[in-house]
Structure 1
C-alpha cells in the first residue's frame, strides 16, 4: 500500500512539474523579447536621413518577424523594437515580415503568413492599426493611397484563386477596393497613373504566370497584361520610365533572367541573361546580387554587380571590392543610402539564426557591420 501510494505521489509530482513547466513556458513565450541597443556610429544630430527601419522576415510559422532601427542622429542600432513598444501584442510582429514602407507619419509592415499589414507610428513604432489581408506580399503608395499585393490562396495550393491588389486609404486605414490580377502577384511599382504588378503563379509550377499586369489608377482596372517570362518576382522603376523585372525561371531548365519594359509603350525592350535575385535602383545605377546553382558542387554561387540604367549596360565596377563578399553566406536585402550612396546589404546566413547587415562605402569597402534579427530583408528610410 505504501509502495503504491509512493508511486502515486511520484506520478502526481511529475504531472505537477510538467504542468508548471508548460505554464512557465507559456509565460515566457508571452513575455516580450526586450529591445537590444548598441552604439554603432558616431552620432550625427544634423543628418538629413534620420535613420532607417529594417524588417527581419523571421522563420516561417515561428512568429519571429522583428523590426530593427538604425538611428543616425544618435549612432545607435536598436534590435527588436516592435515587441518593446507593443508588449500587449501577444505574438509580436508576426509570421514573415515581407515588406515595409513609410508614407507620411506612418510605417507600414506587410506580414505575409500572419495575413496582415501592421500600421505603426513612424517615430515610435507604436501600433496604430492592423489591416487584415490574406497572404499579403508587397506595398507601395501614391496620392494618399497604399496599394498591397496579395496571393489570397494558401501556401502550396495549386488551385489557388487569382491574386489581387488592395487599395487602402492612408487616413482612414480602411481597404476601399481591390482589383484582380494574376496568380500569386509579387512586387509592384507605380509610374505616372499606372500601377504595374509582377505575377508569379508560384503555387503551380507546371503552369507559372508570365505577365506583368498594368492597372489604371484612375479607374482601378487592369488595362493590359504584358507577356514577359515565367515566375516573375522583382519589379523596379528607373527615372527614365523603364521597369526592370526579374524572372526566377523554373529552377531547372529555364534559367532566371531580367527584362526591361518601356512604360511609354508597355512593351518589352531588352533582356539580360542574368540570374538577378534582388536589386535596387538609385539614380542612374542599379545594384544587384545574383545566385546560380553550380552543377559541379551542387551549391549556389553569388555574384554582385552594377548596371547603368541610362544606357542599359552592365558595368565592370562592383559595389563590394575589398573581399567582404566572401564572408557573406546568403545575400538577401539590399538598399542604397539616399544621401551618402552607401550600399546596405544583408546576410540571411542559414535562415534560422540572426543575420548580419553590412555597409559599404562608394568605393566598395566595408564601413561597418551589425547583427540583426532572423532573415534581415527590407528597408525604409526616415527623413527629418
Structure 2
C-alpha cells in the first residue's frame, strides 16, 4: 500500500467542534438553512462512517460544522473524498460507502444517493468531473461511471487503468490518472484518455509512476502529478515524484519533470501547489516556470497542509490536517496572501468547494 502517498485513502475525518452554538443535532433536520459560500468536506476515520460537510457563510461569519446532517438528519457516509458543483447540484464522492451524494447547492438538501456497486462489491469511487450534462466518477475497481445529471442514474461504466484517482476534461476528452496505488509498489504509470463524444477509451499515455492528480490550463494542456515509488534509502528502483504535461490536441507528453509539491491546482493562467515546508508556489502555465516561491505573505504556517483551493478572485484556502486524528482547520487568505479567517473543521479536511450562487 502507499505510505504517505495514500493519504487520500487512509486519512480520516470527522468534523471539528467549532462554534458549538451553530452545531445541529444529527437527528434534527431543519428546513431553515443559510446559503453557504464555502463547503468543507472532511473525510473522517476509515470504517467509522463519520464523514462530514461543514458550511461557512462570509457575510454572517457563521460556520455550521455538520451542515449536511443538520439539513438531512443523517450523515453522508464513510470517507468522503471529493466534492464539486455542477449547475445547481453539488456532488459528494464517498469512497468507502461507494456512493455519490447529490445535494441542492443552496439548501444542501439531499436529492439522491447514487450507489456505485458491482453486484455486492463496492467500487470505491474517488473523484468526479463533468461534461455536457454527464458526471464522470473514477473508482478504484478500474472504472469510470457515467452519471446522467438530470436523472441521476448511471448510464454505463468505462474500463480504465488500475485504481484511478483524479480526472479532468480537456478538448472534448476525459483524462484519468491510473495510480495502481493499492498494489504499491507495483503501481500504474498511465493516463487513460476517453473520447467524450463516443464514450470510448481512445488512448493510454505513459506518465510518472503512481499518478494521482490531474489539472487543465486555459490552453488545454493537462498536468498530471505523480507520487513516484520509494523502495528504501538509496534503492536504485526508487522513482521521483513528477509532473507531466500532456498536449490535449496531440495526446503527447510535452514535458516531464521532478515535482515534489502536492495539490497542483490551476486558476486562470497560473498553477499553485503546496510544498512540504508550508509554502505555496505559483507556476506560470504559459512560461512553464515557477514565478513565486511563496504565495503566503504573513508568515502563516501549517502542521500538515492537506488541501489547496484557489478562487477566481485570487483568494485561496488551505486545510490543515494537524495530526490526522483530531480536528483540523481551514485557513482563508486574501489575494495578497494574508490570512483572513481560521475555521475549525473535522478530522482531515480533504476538499474545499467555493459555492457558485
Q: TM-score range by the shorter chain?
A: 0.7 to 0.9
| Residues 1:278 and 2:267 are matched in the alignment | no
Task: Measure how far apart 1:129 and its partner are.
Answer: 1.1
User: Could you report, residue by residue, the CA deviation over 1:115-140 in whole angstroms, capped at 9, with x for unpaired residues?
Assistant: 11111121111111111112000001
Describe how 1:92-241 pairs up with structure 2 within 5 A.
92-133=75-116, 134-152=123-141, 163-241=142-220
Q: Equivalents in 2 of 1:82, 1:372: separation in Å?
A: 14
| Structure 1: runs of 5+ lacking an equivalent | 1-32, 39-48, 153-162, 292-300
2:308 corresponding residue in structure 1: 334
User: Could you report, residue by residue, the CA deviation over 1:34-76 in whole angstroms, capped at 9, with x for unpaired residues?
Assistant: 99566xxxxxxxxxx9612111111211112100112234332
Task: Measure how far apart 1:338 and its partner are.
Answer: 2.1
Moved more, 345-354 or 120-129: 120-129
| Residues 1:369 and 2:354 are matched in the alignment | no
Aligned residue for 2:70, secondary structure, equals: helix
Q: Which has the higher contact order (CA 8 A, sep 6+)?
A: 2
Task: Measure how far apart 1:362 and its partner are.
Answer: 2.3
Judged with a 3 Å threshold, the aligned counterparts in structure 2 of structure 1 residues 37 and 280 are, in CA distance, closer, same or farther, namely farther
Q: Equivalents in 2 of 1:317, 1:363: separation in Å?
A: 14
Q: Equivalents in 2 of 1:263, 1:383: separation in Å?
A: 28
Alpha-carbon contact 1:149-1:165 (below 8 Å) kept: yes
Aligned residue for 2:303, secondary structure, equals: coil
Computed over aligned residues only, the root mean square deviation of the Cα atoms, in angstroms, reads 1.9
Question: Under a length normalisation based on structure 2, what TM-score does the superposition of the two structures give?
Answer: 0.84
Q: Equivalents in 2 of 1:238, 1:37: separation in Å?
A: 42
Aligned residue for 2:111, secondary structure, equals: strand
* Runs (4+) off by over 4 Å: 33-38
2:56 corresponding residue in structure 1: 70
1:381 corresponding residue in structure 2: 354
Alpha-carbon contact 1:37-1:77 (below 8 Å) kept: no
Question: Under a length normalisation based on structure 1, what TM-score does the superposition of the two structures give?
Answer: 0.79
Aligned residue for 2:48, secondary structure, equals: coil
- How many pairs align? 317
